[in-house]
């Protein structure tokens, strides 16, 4: 019975992945998403027109959206549309970690009392705070791979913990990479669809995206188990 349940779960995930891929293709085929982002009057088009300075503007806008809890994921997809998988991942990775670091410093030095009031009743955050004191880098990394807080709140909340800036920076940067690659890939896949890429290239793109999602899901699952073993996710393993 247990094996049948696991098999059913795998089939459900495969079906969900197929639905997501089909939905993405329909969205990019039906709506002028690329035009909104990179059309004649689109934000990314204007940034591109600034030349090398445009990279800095993109990163600056991303930092601002991260700090203000704006829809940075839209900019992540746009990066894939314009700069491709590699270039988009690099730009988004820089912008996201600098934005997360800025929020961390604000939480630690400028808005400590306000953030403390927001998370003081959260039992999960109390568990994180205790665990960070012992294994800061490891806990930050796991919560980035499998966040148990809203992303923006987590940025600020870590400023209240004992973790130092260096550990927070590198653990967050590494932990955010799988999600960054996945969202940037959506943009690069959308570009292939809107540009009318040949069937073979499109199939390879879709296969690559499916593999990226599968790896991200697996990493998230592993991180959740590791968090449970440290009691950070509100559960402790049975003795």
For residue 32, the SS3 value is: coil
Asked whether residue 188 is domain-assigned, the answer is yes
| Structural domain count, the chain | 1
Asked whether residue 73 is domain-assigned, the answer is yes
Asked whether residue 91 is domain-assigned, the answer is yes
Asked whether residue 53 is domain-assigned, the answer is yes
Lowest mean pLDDT among 26-30, 41-45, 117-121, 130-134: 26-30
Residue 28 structure tokens: 């990019």
Global pTM reads 0.71
For residue 202, the SS3 value is: helix
Asked whether residue 9 is domain-assigned, the answer is yes
Asked whether residue 68 is domain-assigned, the answer is yes
Asked whether residue 235 is domain-assigned, the answer is no
Reduced 3-state DSSP string for 141-160: HHHHHCCCCCHHHHHHHHHH
Q: Which long-range contacts (CB under 8 A, 24 or more apart) does 201-208 make?
A: 206/21
Asked whether residue 161 is domain-assigned, the answer is yes
Residue 182 structure tokens: 């996945």
Q: Which domain holds residue 20?
A: 2-229
Give the CB-side neighbour count of residue 146, counting CA atoms within 13 A.
Answer: 19
Tens digit of pLDDT for each residue in 139-197?
A: 888 888 876 667 787 888 888 887 889 999 999 999 999 989 988 988 888 666 555 55
């Amino acid at each position: 019975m247990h094996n049948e349940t696991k098999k059913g779960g795998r089939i459900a995930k495969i079906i969900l992945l197929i639905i997501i891929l089909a939905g993405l293709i329909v969205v990019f085929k039906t709506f002028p998403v690329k035009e909104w982002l990179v059309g004649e009057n689109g934000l990314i088009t204007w940034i591109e027109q600034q030349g090398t300075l445009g990279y800095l503007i993109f990163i600056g806008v991303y930092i601002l959206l991260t700090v203000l809890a704006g829809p940075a994921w839209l900019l992540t997809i746009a990066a894939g549309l314009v700069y491709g998988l590699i270039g988009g991942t690099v730009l988004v990775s820089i912008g996201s970690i600098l934005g997360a670091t800025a929020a961390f410093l604000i939480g630690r030095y400028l808005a400590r009392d306000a953030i403390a009031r927001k998370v003081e009743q959260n039992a999960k955050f109390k568990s994180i705070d205790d665990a960070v004191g012992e294994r800061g880098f490891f806990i930050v990394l796991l919560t980035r791979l499998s966040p148990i807080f809203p992303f923006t709140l987590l940025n600020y909340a870590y400023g209240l913990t004992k973790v130092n800036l260096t550990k927070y920076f590198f653990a967050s940067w590494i932990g955010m990479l799988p999600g960054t690659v996945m969202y940037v890939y959506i943009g690069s896949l959308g570009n292939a669809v809107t540009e009318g890429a040949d069937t073979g290239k499109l199939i390879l793109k879709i296969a690559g995206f499916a593999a990226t999602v599968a790896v991200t899901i697996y990493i998230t699952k592993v991180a959740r188990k590791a968090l449970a073993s440290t009691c950070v996710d509100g559960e402790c393993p049975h003795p």
